[in-house]
Amino acid sequence: ESAGLTWVEANISVCPEVVAQAVRVLETVSAASKDFELKLEEHPFGGAAIDAVGEPLPASTLKACQEADAILMGSIGGPKWGVDAKVRPEPGLLTLRKTLGLYANIRPASFASESLLENTPLRPEIAKDVDMIVVRELIGGLYFGKRKEANVEPDIGTAWDNMIYSEEEIQRITRVAAQIALTSNPPMEIHSIDKANVLACSRLWRKTVTETLTKEYPQIKFDHQLVDSTAMVMVANPRKLNGVILTENLFGDILSDQSSVIPGSLGLLPSASMNGAPSQPSEDFKPTLGLYEPIHGSAPDIAGKGIANPIGTILSAAMLLRYSLGLAKPATAIEDAVRKVLDLEKDGGYGLRTADLGGNVCTVELGDKVVEVLKKILVEVYFECI
């Protein structure tokens, strides 16, 4: 089986640096595998596309994404096209997500080598044994409601953003959370996060989540919590939130960045944006087009220095193999390789750390080591297959 893959990137961003490492990792899998031939295309997106053709999501990029088997993205945005710019990168990403119908954003916060406990800003006993997956609704809510900019005529000195959710939008993301909870080993509980003490959308959210789970998934344990105190619990006692964190677009954006404090860096966490629940590779695996990107942004403060952590993007590539191409074994091999690179020497690893985790290894050196370890693991994986 061969796979087309679209790679979109932006300038003034750590994107090219971290994506290059994820691409090397995919190339390594492709070279070792009989069932995966990487066909990589690169397309302009975000700031790079604004500079080249005046818009963040050129029609040719959108078309290539629609035709691809999977999309790997670094991140977009940056001070050159900041919040006051006429044309900005971020709406391009929103249009891409919306056009492809990618309503389910899956952000596992729990990938951690035990060795990372050395680097978490939390006390190790607080950060220990956390296992949470944020399931964020991605194409509704405040991000996509009608809005009025204050500086657009008629300028009435007021701006507004509409938050809208339909029952159907809440049902479908609840089902994704439920599928993930059920297929986790062991099955997880669901924490649905809202602001139902204030927002009408949240009251509909709470009612619809309760109805959907009670009717369709009576075996799943779930609760509802308010987003403000959830933010506190997430860093004070994060194990209390172990399970699937089911939430709407904006709350999920904020909580997923916050969850990265637990393993220790925003640079570590991957994400998958899909049109439905990810199906696990098996006999009845259904390949789904997905957009895979780290949860972090373009990190303008460190862009171009070669010191960004590529692990979030490398792990996004692993999710891509598993969920869009059904290649579970190489996906697991990538995750194992990353773990070994992070594990301390006393635990049989290499203990490498980029600067965000207090280390002095640069982006390429980390990529080198992941590729080196991955090659060895892949020999075993494909040898076992024969």
Q: Which is nearer to ligand NAD, 102 or 266 (CB)?
A: 266
257 is catalytic: yes
Is the Cβ–Cβ distance between 21 and 314 less than 8 Å?
A: yes
Q: Using the rule CB under 5 A, which residue among 17, 253, 293, 343 binds Mn ion?
A: 253
* Active-site option among 129, 223, 228, 347: 228
Q: Which is nearer to ligand IPM, 69 or 253 (CB)?
A: 253
Q: Which is nearer to ligand IPM, 26 or 93 (CB)?
A: 93
143 is catalytic: yes
Residue type, 233: V
Q: Using the rule CB under 6 A, which residue among 16, 108, 278, 297 binds ligand NAD?
A: 297
Which residue's CB comes closest to ligand IPM?
A: 90
Tokens for 380? Answer: 């075993």
| Cα 136 to Cα 103: distance, rounded to the nearest angstrom | 8
Q: Minimum distance from CB of 98 to ligand IPM (Å)?
A: 12
68 binding partner (options Mn ion, ligand IPM, ligand NAD, none; Cβ < 5 to 8 Å by kind)? none
Size of interface with ligand NAD, in residues (CB under 6 A)? 22
Task: Give the CB-side neighbour count of residue 188, counting CA atoms within 13 A.
Answer: 28
Q: What is the DSSP letter of 89?
A: S
Segment near Mn ion (CB under 5 A), from 46-54, 207-215, 221-229, 245-253?
245-253
Q: Minimum distance from CB of 129 to ligand NAD (Å)?
A: 25
Q: What is the DSSP string of 96-151?
A: HHHHTT--EEEEE-----GGGGGT-SS-HHHHTT--EEEEEE-SSGGGTS-EE-TT
* Active-site option among 253, 292, 323, 329: 253
x/- contact string, 253-282, with ligand NAD (CB under 6 A)?
-------------xx---------------
Closest CA to 191 of 183, 205, 199, 96: 205
Is the Cβ–Cβ distance between 46 and 10 less than 8 Å?
A: yes
195 is catalytic: yes
272 forms part of the interface with ligand IPM (CB under 6 A) = no
228 is catalytic: yes
90 forms part of the interface with ligand IPM (CB under 6 A) = yes
165 is catalytic: no
Q: Using the rule CB under 6 A, which residue among 181, 262, 299, 318 binds ligand NAD?
A: 299
Residue type, 83: V
Closest CA to 71 of 53, 57, 81: 57
Residue type, 349: G
| Cα 128 to Cα 124: distance, rounded to the nearest angstrom | 6
Q: Using the rule CB under 6 A, which residue among 44, 46, 58, 77 binds ligand IPM?
A: 77
Tokens for 253? Answer: 């954006």
Q: Using the rule CB under 6 A, which residue among 93, 106, 342, 361 binds ligand IPM?
A: 93
What number of other Cβ atoms are within 10 A of residue 113's Cβ? 19
Tokens for 35? Answer: 């069932």
Catalytic residues: 143, 195, 228, 253, 257
Q: Under the rule (CB under 6 A), what is the footprint of ligand NAD?
A: 14, 18, 75-78, 90, 93, 266-267, 293, 296-302, 308-309, 312, 356
